[in-house]
A and B are shown apart, each in its own frame.
Chain A
Amino acid sequence: MPDSPDANRGKGATVKADEPFNLLIAGVGGQGVLTLGGLVVHAAVRAGLDVKQSEIHGMAQRGGSVSTHVRIGRKVFSPVIDEGAAQLLVALEKLEALRYLHYLAPDGLLIVDDRAIPPLPVSSGALEYPPDVLDRCRAHAARVEVYSGEALASTIASARMLNTCFAGIVSRHLPFDESAWHAALAECFAARHLEANRQAFDHGRQARPRV
Chain B
Amino acid sequence: MKTVLSGNEALARGAWQAGVMFAAAYPGTPSTEILESLQGYREVHAQWAVNEKVAFDEALGASMGGARALVSMKHVGLNVAADSFMTASYTGVGGGLVVVSCDDPGMHSSQNEQDNRNYAAFAKAPLLEPADSQECLEFVGRAFDLSEQFDTPVLLRLTTRISHTRCVVETDGKRQIPTGRGFAKEPEKYVMVPAYARVRHRIVEERLAALAAFAETTDLNRSESGSGDFGLIASGISYQYAKEAFPEAPIFKLGFSYPLPLRRLREFVASVGRVYVIEELDPFIEERLLAAGIPVRGKALLSLCGEYTPRAIHEAINKDLGRPSPLASGLSPLTSSLPPRPPVLCPGCPHRGILYALNRLKVNVMGDIGCYTLGALPPLLAMDSCVCMGASVGLGVGLDKVSERGRTVAVVGDSTFIHSGIPPLIDMAWNRGAGVLIILDNRTTAMTGRQPTAASSPTGSARTDVLEGAPPLDLVRLCQAAGIEDVAVVDPYRLDQVFETLRRALASERPSVIITNRPCGLLATVERQEPLAIDADLCQGCLQCAELACPALVVEGDQARIVEELCRGCTLCSQVCDFGAVARLKGT
Contacts and interface: CB of A to CB of B under 8 A. Distances in A.
Interface of A: 28-29, 38, 41-42, 45, 50-59, 61-65, 76-80, 82-85, 95-96, 98-99, 101-106, 118-130, 136, 140
A55 B164 contact: yes
Contacts of A45: 2, 4, 168
Contacts of B335: 99, 102
A25 to B, nearest CB: 13
A61 B328 contact: no
A128 B522 CA distance: 29
Contacts of B522: 61
B483 interface: no
A29 B330 contact: no
B553 interface: yes
Contacts of B540: none
Given A59-B109, A77-B244, A95 B330 contact: no
17 contacts: A52-B132, A54-B165, A57-B109, A58-B109, A62-B344, A63-B341, A64-B342, A64-B343, A77-B247, A78-B241, A79-B165, A79-B240, A96-B341, A104-B331, A123-B553, A126-B379, A130-B339
A28 B166 contact: no
Contacts of B247: 77
B293 interface: no
A42 to B, nearest CB: 6
Contacts of B555: 123-125
A102 B338 contact: no
A122 B342 CA distance: 11
Given A45-B168, A52-B165, A58-B108, A99 B341 contact: yes
Contacts of B167: 50-53, 76, 79
Contacts of B448: 58
A23 to B, nearest CB: 13
A58 B307 CA distance: 18
A53 B331 CA distance: 23
Contacts of A55: 164-166
Contacts of B310: 77-78, 80, 82
Max chain A CB contacts within 10 Å: which of B160, B237, B331, B543? B331
Contact of B339 (A28, A78, A106, A127): A127
Contacts of A103: 330
Given A58-B29, A64-B342, A119-B342, A80 B161 contact: yes
B243 interface: yes
Interface string B359-376: 000000000000100100
B542 to A, nearest CB: 11
Top-10 shortest CB links A-B: A84-B330, A125-B555, A62-B343, A64-B343, A58-B109, A119-B341, A78-B244, A59-B343, A79-B165, A58-B29
Contacts of B87: none
Contacts, number: 165
Interface string B313-326: 00000000000000
A56 B160 contact: yes
Contacts of B237: 79
B334 A136 contact: yes
Contact of B330 (A52, A78, A104, A129): A104
Interface of B: 2, 4, 29-30, 32, 108-109, 132, 160-161, 164-168, 237, 240-241, 243-244, 247, 307, 309-311, 327-335, 337-346, 371, 374, 378-379, 447-448, 522, 543, 546, 549, 551, 553-555
Contacts of B553: 123-124
A85 B311 CA distance: 10
Contacts of A130: 337-339
Contacts of B338: 95, 98-99, 130
A102 B333 CA distance: 5
B343 A41 contact: no
Contacts of A78: 240-241, 243-244, 309-310
A119 B109 contact: no
A63 B344 contact: yes
Contacts of A82: 309-311, 327
A129 B339 CA distance: 7
B313 to A, nearest CB: 10
A97 B345 CA distance: 24
Given A62-B343, A76-B167, A80-B307, 19 more contacts: A53-B167, A54-B161, A54-B164, A54-B165, A55-B164, A57-B32, A57-B164, A59-B343, A63-B551, A77-B244, A78-B243, A82-B309, A84-B330, A119-B340, A123-B551, A123-B554, A124-B546, A125-B546, A127-B339
A120 B342 contact: yes
Max chain A CB contacts within 10 Å: which of B4, B371, B448? B4
A128 to B, nearest CB: 7
Nearest to B8: A57
Max chain A CB contacts within 10 Å: which of B132, B311, B343, B345? B343
A34 to B, nearest CB: 9
Contacts of B543: 125
B467 to A, nearest CB: 26
A57 B334 contact: no
B331 A102 contact: yes
B329 A122 contact: no
Contacts of B345: 62
Contacts of A128: 339
Nearest to A118: B554
B166 A61 contact: no
Contact of B334 (A38, A62, A98): A98
Contacts of A124: 379, 546, 549, 553, 555
Contact of B344 (A64, A83, A95): A64
A56 B108 CA distance: 7
Contacts of A105: 328, 330
Nearest to B237: A79
A42 B339 contact: no
A65 B168 contact: no
A124 B132 CA distance: 42
B447 A58 contact: yes
Contact of A50 (B168, B243, B328): B168
A63 B30 contact: no
Max chain B CB contacts within 10 Å: which of A51, A61, A63, A78? A78
Contacts of B165: 52-55, 79
Given A62-B344, A63-B551, A102-B330, A121 B339 contact: yes
A64 B346 CA distance: 11
A122 B339 contact: yes
A134 to B, nearest CB: 13
A178 to B, nearest CB: 20
A164 B307 CA distance: 31
Nearest to B312: A82
Contacts of B331: 84, 101-102, 104, 140
Nearest to A79: B165
B339 A83 contact: no
A102 to B, nearest CB: 4
Contact of A65 (B29, B341, B371): B341
Contacts of A59: 109, 343
Contact of B311 (A38, A63, A83, A140): A83
